[in-house]
Amino acid sequence: MAEAADELSTPLGQQTVGKTRRLRLPFTAMQALAVLLGLVLVGFVGVALFNDNPLGGEPVAHVALRKVETPAAADKQAPAALTEPAAKSAAPKSPAAAGDAKTVTIIDGSSGKRQDVVIGAGNPADKTDGDAPPAMMTGIDQRLLEKSRYGMIPVVADGLKPFTVYAADADRAKAAKMPVVAIVVAGLGVGAAKTADAIVKLPAAVTLAFTPYGADPGKLAERARSQRHEILLQIPMEPFDYPDNDPGPQTLLTSLNSEQNLDRLYWHLSRLQGYAGIANFMGARFVATDPMMQPIVREAAKRGLGYFDDGSTPRSVAQSLAAGQAMPFAKADFTIDAVPTSAEIDRTLVKLETLAKERGTAVGVASALPVSIERLSAWIKTLESKGIMLVPLTTAMLKSKSG
The pLDDT of 231-237, averaged and rounded, is 98
| 86-to-74, 97, 265 alpha-carbon distances in Å | 14, 18, 46
C-alpha to C-alpha distance for 133 and 122, rounded to whole angstroms: 10
**Mean pLDDT of all residues belonging to the chain:** 79
Quick one: pLDDT at residue 395?
Answer: 98
C-alpha to C-alpha distance for 377 and 384, rounded to whole angstroms: 13
Higher pLDDT, 194 or 41: 194
For residue 226, how many other CB atoms are within 10 A of its CB?
12
Quick one: pLDDT at residue 200?
Answer: 96
Identity of residue 117:
V
Confidence tier at 169 by pLDDT (50, 70, 90)? very high
151: left (phi over 0), alpha (psi -120 to 50) or beta: left
Quick one: pLDDT at residue 40?
Answer: 59
Provide the percentage of residues in the chain whose pLDDT is more than 90: 63
Q: Which residues contact 390 (CB under 8 A, 6 or more apart)?
A: 180, 181, 182, 183, 203, 205, 206, 380, 383
Quick one: pLDDT at residue 65?
Answer: 45
Higher pLDDT, 39 or 98: 39
pLDDT tens readout for residues 77-129: 333 333 333 333 333 333 333 334 455 555 554 455 555 555 543 343 334 33
C-alpha to C-alpha distance for 248 and 117, rounded to whole angstroms: 9
Quick one: pLDDT at residue 28?
Answer: 60
Closest CA to 137 of 148, 145, 129: 145
CB-CB contact of 287 with 237 (8 Å): yes
CA angle 283, 286, 291 (to 5 degrees): 160
Quick one: pLDDT at residue 109?
Answer: 47
CATH architecture of 143-402: Alpha-Beta Barrel (3.20)
The pLDDT of 371-383, averaged and rounded, is 98
Confidence tier at 276 by pLDDT (50, 70, 90)? very high
For residue 351, how many other CB atoms are within 10 A of its CB?
14
Cis peptide bond N-terminal to 243, omega within 30: yes
pLDDT tops 60 at residue 175: yes
Most confident of 41-45, 57-61, 135-139, 198-202: 198-202
Helix (H, G, I), strand (E, B) or coil at 272: coil
C-alpha to C-alpha distance for 171 and 163, rounded to whole angstroms: 17
CB-CB contact of 360 with 180 (8 Å): yes
Closest CA to 121 of 131, 107, 130, 106: 131
C-alpha to C-alpha distance for 396 and 393, rounded to whole angstroms: 5
CB-CB contact of 292 with 322 (8 Å): no
C-alpha to C-alpha distance for 320 and 290, rounded to whole angstroms: 10
Confidence tier at 8 by pLDDT (50, 70, 90)? very low
pLDDT tops 70 at residue 17: no
pLDDT tens readout for residues 123-134: 433 343 334 455
- DSSP conformational letter for 160: B
The pLDDT of 34-54, averaged and rounded, is 56
C-alpha to C-alpha distance for 276 and 394, rounded to whole angstroms: 8
The pLDDT of 204-214, averaged and rounded, is 95
Confidence tier at 191 by pLDDT (50, 70, 90)? confident
Closest CA to 353 of 321, 319, 402, 390: 390
Identity of residue 320:
S
C-alpha to C-alpha distance for 205 and 228, rounded to whole angstroms: 8
Quick one: pLDDT at residue 86?
Answer: 34
C-alpha to C-alpha distance for 141 and 156, rounded to whole angstroms: 11
Confidence tier at 349 by pLDDT (50, 70, 90)? very high
Q: Which run of H or of E encompasses 354? A: helix 342-359
pLDDT tops 70 at residue 14: no
Which pTM value belongs to this model?
Answer: 0.69
Quick one: pLDDT at residue 214?
Answer: 81
Quick one: pLDDT at residue 377?
Answer: 98
- DSSP conformational letter for 43: H
The structural domains of the chain, with segments of one domain joined by +, span: 143-402
